[in-house]
Structure 1
Amino acid sequence: MRNIPLFKALAKDAWIKPFLKHYKKTMIIALLLGFMTFFCAGALMFTSGFLISRSASIPENILLVYVPIVLTRAFGIGRPVFRYVERLVSHNWVLKMTSQLRLKLYNTLEKDAVFFKKHYSLGDVLGLLAEDINHIQNLYLRTIFPTIIAWILYIFVVIGLGVFSIPFACLMALLLFSVTVVLPLWSVVVNGARQEKEKQSKNELYTELTDNVIGVADWIFSQRGHEYVNWHDQAEKNLQDTQASLRKFSRRRDFLLQVIMGIVVVALLFWTSQQFPGNHGGAANWIAAFVLSVFPLVDAFSGLPDAAQETNIYKDSIKRLNDLPNITEHTTKKMLEGSLDINIEHLVFQYEEDSRKILDNLSLTIPQGEKLAVLGRSGSGKSTLASLIRGDLVPTSGSVQLAGVATEQIGDVISEYIGVIQQTPYLFHTTILNNLRIGNEQAEIAEVWEVLQRVGLEQLVKGLPDGLDTMVDEAGLRFSGGERHRMALARILLKDTPIVLLDEPTVGLDPITEQALIDTFFEQLTGKTIIWITHHLQGIEKMQRVVFIEDGQLEMSGTPAELAQTNSRYQKLKAIDEGKY
């Protein structure tokens, strides 16, 4: 499917074509303006060439040069005017279309978030949002519009020359056909495969670099850092070799295009000298007019090979958008009943395009009210497990159930049962009060002050000039890391969810702040189910049970006291965490 041509992707398209029909009038106007831009450019050189030749001879009448002078001014003004208006119209058309595409994509993301997280990793979703829509935009601005305008010019030039000489028009049709069709197809066939290889190399480098930067501590700890550096250097070299091949081919192709256009100029010079013979004045004045009119057309034709070559990028974007599910309305499930135990049975999860299993046959039961710590190295599957518990992902096989209901089927009401505090809690650019009321819009002011007192922020907020009405900077940057986490805890307390998921909330904090924050968490969350995703063991003695996940499987389970006495691996982890190893 990767090698399907662009026209086949468009033939099955349900995302782009509806907007083409909706904005077809604006598109036609943009194409006509683009044609008029190059027509004025060619006509400007045509009249200028005639004017130069006529002025070099002795004109019998001043009108013989006055009309070309007026036309030269008119076409000279018309060229930038049409160009400017064409840019306005074409960009306005494309931006209208892509704004609708973005709206449709956002609606699909919102309605089918579980589908996305099952089939795509975060980078893929960002690619859909940031790259694919931009690719569609470039498809029209850099490929479809210039190509259609060039074909219109091609037909116009051939017909125009056919009025004077059909054999010469056929010769020009053949030469220009090689520029408008043969060279672009050649670029698609030869450089298309290299572009695909370049894209795959970049994706592989990005993925590996991201994963290994996150897990750099593991590389250093295992003393295998040099292996990754060597691999990365080789991958970089392969990418650079591919890019060098792309540039080498482009230079050769562009040189060939210039040679063909040079042949067109020479042929036109020879033909006009035969078509309009004469030494001075008269018909000979048309020679310069015809020859000079060719040069502006080079700009219209020279970009076609690159434009066609880029279709290899655009077709993947069109295919990805059309592979998305149709927007469906999800109904909110009824409230859960009974004990809020979490049961995980034979859980397997992997992304469809990744052969590696993130979680592999993992089984775990978390009774209501238990405090569970989930340990593991970077990439071991801890955060994926948290997403599955929240219902943000659908298991590949097995199940994750809350009160006997699969979490991915609970719907929006799962937020009534599970609250989350992440590594970097996000505070919105609004008042402190609005930030805290996100989970419970009906909370009274007295309740807000109560939870602020419980999390240790009451005096801080009272000391601000506007108190609860103080505006929070974008992303909450006016508050320290520990203060942002306490704000997030205050939201949870206002919401009063029975289950709280702590997804490495103390990462990046200094030890004193970290310990104080841990103490506050467990003091204020008494009686609730706590699932603490963490990578080190500070404060671990507050947990009732500790499990360790490695390569997607449960490798260790027990109370902190039991593991400290009997499990050598836990003892080693504890020693490393305390700096004793």
Structure 2
Amino acid sequence: MNFFKTFKHDTWVKPYIKQYKGLLISVIILGFLTVFFATGLMFVAGYTIDKAATHPYNILLIYVPIVLTRGFGIGRPVFKYVERLRSHNWVLKVTSDLRTRLYKTLESDASFFNEHHKTGDIMGLLSEDINHLQDLYLRTVFPTVIAYIVAIIASIAMGVFDPAFGLFVLFLCAVEIFLVPLVSVTLESARRERQKALKANLYTKLTDNILGVDDWVISGRQEDFKNLSASTINELDASKKKSKAFRRYRDFVLQFIFALIMIVMIIFTNLHMTNGQEQANFVAAVVLAALQLSDTFVPVSQGFEEWPQYRDSINRLNTVTPVDANLPEQVELKPEDFNGLKLDNVSFEYASDSPILIKNFSQTITKGEKIALLGPSGIGKTTILQLILGDLVPQKGSITVNDLNVQQIQENRSDIFSVLNQNPFLFNTSVMNNVRLGNEDKTDAEVKKALERVGLKDLLDSLPEKYNTSVGENGSRFSGGEQERIALARILLQDAPVVLLDEPTVGLDPITENALLETFFEVLKDKTIIWVTHHLQGVTHVDHVVFVTDEGIEMQGAPKDLYSNNAHFKELYELDQGL
């Protein structure tokens, strides 16, 4: 029931079975031919040995079985090799399509997935679920279908001699490839569920801990970091050992049942194939041929046992669907035409039962204006940036660019907005390649010019590989301030008229922070800047300050005017400056 329910509304497995059905059929045929040639090899070998033992008066009487032995002996590995090639070709085609589809789906609305899925969940989707679908074909679908076909044909072959015996053989085969696997998956299902839950928990923990590894090191709790997931890993390891023990016992039962099939075959052949010398030659041949079926039948239970994790992967992937953005008709806005941005009475909450995060927020930002958003953590400053970008839609009010709703320019918003946050991601490639992400059409000279403008020319010139120096994993080759400068060079190359700065200097020492802010506002002097910050360091660079609290805008104005006329602002500024 669960099997059919899983595939009832599936869009991740069935479409590709239909798309590559020709290749799938060829894999099943080749798999059957591999088994057929293996059994044929043992059959003619047994027959040849028996026939030769009766001392035929002419060698020609066993010439045909000898030739067939060679043919089956050559055919078996050939068909096995071709079947492996075709089956892996099938799997690679399907998983390539699956991965492409998953990446496109995740990329289609990254903000949606950040809201509804943990980072660890997404890591699980990428690393586990697609691999599970790959194993579904290789370890369950192909072996099971081939085993069922072989069992039916073997039973029919035995039924030619004796219909009752054919049914009995079919019954024993059904126990081997259906009943035992069904019992196996039933008994092992709960343990597999627990293993899945432990793995999911590990993904989430490890993702969180690795992202926060600097804080663990700074706090001197390296050992706690190492031991944090130890209990989960130990429990998972113990559970896997129990699963291995269960498989050993199950395989013993399967081999025992298969031995029973062999005994039945021996009894049958001795009762029905010993009426004459010619029939007696088939006795060993039939039993030896049946022995080859063990390698076909036993793997079916393993495939059945793993079905629960395949089912979970299929169900989870079927929840990942492209988000219907419901965007209005798109309008192309050229960067040079940008003249202003307006937030009019904007209110936003993440859920109907949660406190309103932003309430009646209004602001008009003109071209070239520099504005700073300040306020306590969790007050919604970053959320305002997401609303401006169009990643989030306000429940009340509007956000317009040149009198166009921001949702109307989503298809070319990268031409209007660029973003620099506190953790800019740098890929493990050269500095040149990282900066060129801002605009791939720019020349090497323009990339180097951008790096010179952000103050990295002397540093890069002093390195052996200069501009081709690898930044390392997530920028590890460079300091925090240098990483921000590389990201700033990327923004310069993008050349969008509006730059959103989301606390880009957090965690830096005051000297580095001050130097970096000087660079930011110098190289971006012709841009419109909306800067989210948690303190007043460098606030004199902006034209307008907006201080937000949970009650709304507490104060706003030019920094110089606020310092002169607002006692609270003056107090905060002097505290921040250590005056």
Question: Percent of counterpart pairs with the same letter?
Answer: 40
1:256-335 matches, cutoff 5 A: 256-277=253-274, 282-323=278-319, 324-325=321-322, 332-333=330-331, 335=333
Residue 204 of structure 1: how far off its partner (Å) = 1.7
CA contact (8 A) 1:117 1:392 kept: no
1:499-518 matches, cutoff 5 A: 499-503=498-502, 505=504, 515-518=514-517
SS of equivalent residue, structure 2 residue 501: strand
> Which of these residues, 20, 23, 37, is aligned with residue 23 of structure 1?
20
Distance across 1 between alignment mates of 2:230 and 2:432: 48
CA contact (8 A) 2:372 2:533 kept: no
Indicate the residue corresponding to 2:371 in structure 1: 370
Indicate the residue corresponding to 2:67 in structure 1: 70
Residue 88 of structure 1: how far off its partner (Å) = 1.4
> Which of these residues, 163, 166, 174, is aligned with residue 169 of structure 1?
166
Distance across 2 between alignment mates of 1:32 and 1:147: 13
Distance across 2 between alignment mates of 1:410 and 1:41: 64
Correspondence 1:348 to 2:349: yes
> Which of these residues, 186, 191, 195, is aligned with residue 189 of structure 1?
186
Distance across 2 between alignment mates of 1:88 and 1:277: 43
Letter in 1 for 2:84: R
CA contact (8 A) 2:45 2:285 kept: yes
1:95-494 matches, cutoff 5 A: 95-215=92-212, 232-277=229-274, 282-323=278-319, 324-325=321-322, 332-333=330-331, 335=333, 339-341=340-342, 345-349=346-350, 361-363=357-359, 368=365, 369-372=370-373, 376=377, 387=386, 389-393=388-392, 401=399, 403=401, 410-422=409-421, 423-426=423-426, 432=432, 435-436=435-436, 438-439=438-439, 441=441, 451-457=450-456, 480-481=478-479, 482-494=481-493
SS of equivalent residue, structure 2 residue 357: strand
Distance across 2 between alignment mates of 1:307 and 1:537: 62
Distance across 2 between alignment mates of 1:461 and 1:223: 33
Residue 207 of structure 1: how far off its partner (Å) = 1.0
Letter in 1 for 2:252: F
Letter in 1 for 2:281: N
Distance across 2 between alignment mates of 1:483 and 1:120: 31
Correspondence 1:94 to 2:91: yes
Cα offsets for 1:127-170 (capped at 9, x unmatched): 44444333333222221111111111011110111111222222
Residue 450 of structure 1: how far off its partner (Å) = 6.3
SS of equivalent residue, structure 2 residue 341: coil
Distance across 1 between alignment mates of 2:216 and 2:107: 37
CA contact (8 A) 2:123 2:203 kept: no
Letter in 2 for 1:525: L
SS of equivalent residue, structure 1 residue 72: helix
Distance across 2 between alignment mates of 1:128 and 1:522: 41
Distance across 2 between alignment mates of 1:492 and 1:326: 28
Residue 84 of structure 1: how far off its partner (Å) = 0.6
> Which of these residues, 33, 43, 48, is aligned with residue 46 of structure 1?
43
Over 3 Å counting, the alpha-carbon distance change for 1:537 and 1:253 in structure 2 is farther
Distance across 1 between alignment mates of 2:296 and 2:536: 65
Distance across 1 between alignment mates of 2:505 and 2:198: 35
Distance across 1 between alignment mates of 2:553 and 2:224: 27
Letter in 1 for 2:413: I
Over 3 Å counting, the alpha-carbon distance change for 1:65 and 1:508 in structure 2 is farther
CA contact (8 A) 1:98 1:137 kept: yes
SS of equivalent residue, structure 1 residue 349: coil
Gaps (5+ residues) in structure 2? none
CA contact (8 A) 1:417 1:497 kept: yes
Letter in 2 for 1:309: E
SS of equivalent residue, structure 1 residue 340: strand
Over 3 Å counting, the alpha-carbon distance change for 1:152 and 1:508 in structure 2 is farther
Distance across 2 between alignment mates of 1:12 and 1:308: 21
Over 3 Å counting, the alpha-carbon distance change for 1:68 and 1:110 in structure 2 is same
CA contact (8 A) 1:451 1:494 kept: yes
Letter in 1 for 2:16: F
Indicate the residue corresponding to 2:521 in structure 1: 522
Letter in 2 for 1:211: D
CA contact (8 A) 2:41 2:72 kept: yes
Distance across 1 between alignment mates of 2:534 and 2:241: 43
SS of equivalent residue, structure 1 residue 421: strand
Over 3 Å counting, the alpha-carbon distance change for 1:58 and 1:428 in structure 2 is closer
Letter in 2 for 1:203: A
CA contact (8 A) 1:345 1:362 kept: yes
Distance across 1 between alignment mates of 2:397 and 2:221: 36
Over 3 Å counting, the alpha-carbon distance change for 1:112 and 1:420 in structure 2 is closer
Residue 498 of structure 1: how far off its partner (Å) = 4.5
Over 3 Å counting, the alpha-carbon distance change for 1:301 and 1:536 in structure 2 is farther
What TM-score results when the alignment is normalised by the length of structure 2? 0.77
Distance across 2 between alignment mates of 1:206 and 1:386: 29
CA contact (8 A) 2:471 2:477 kept: no
Residue 394 of structure 1: how far off its partner (Å) = 5.7
Gaps (5+ residues) in structure 1? none
Cα offsets for 1:293-340 (capped at 9, x unmatched): 222211111111121222222233333444413888965345497742
- Once the two structures are overlaid, the 10-residue window that deviates more, 498-507 or 184-193, is 498-507
Over 3 Å counting, the alpha-carbon distance change for 1:361 and 1:391 in structure 2 is same
Letter in 2 for 1:289: A
SS of equivalent residue, structure 1 residue 59: coil
Over 3 Å counting, the alpha-carbon distance change for 1:346 and 1:152 in structure 2 is same
Letter in 2 for 1:313: Q
Letter in 1 for 2:523: Q
Residue 435 of structure 1: how far off its partner (Å) = 4.3
Structure 1 vs Structure 2 CA RMSD: 4.9
CA contact (8 A) 1:375 1:534 kept: no
Over 3 Å counting, the alpha-carbon distance change for 1:72 and 1:498 in structure 2 is same
Residue 510 of structure 1: how far off its partner (Å) = 7.6
SS of equivalent residue, structure 1 residue 58: coil
Letter in 1 for 2:350: F
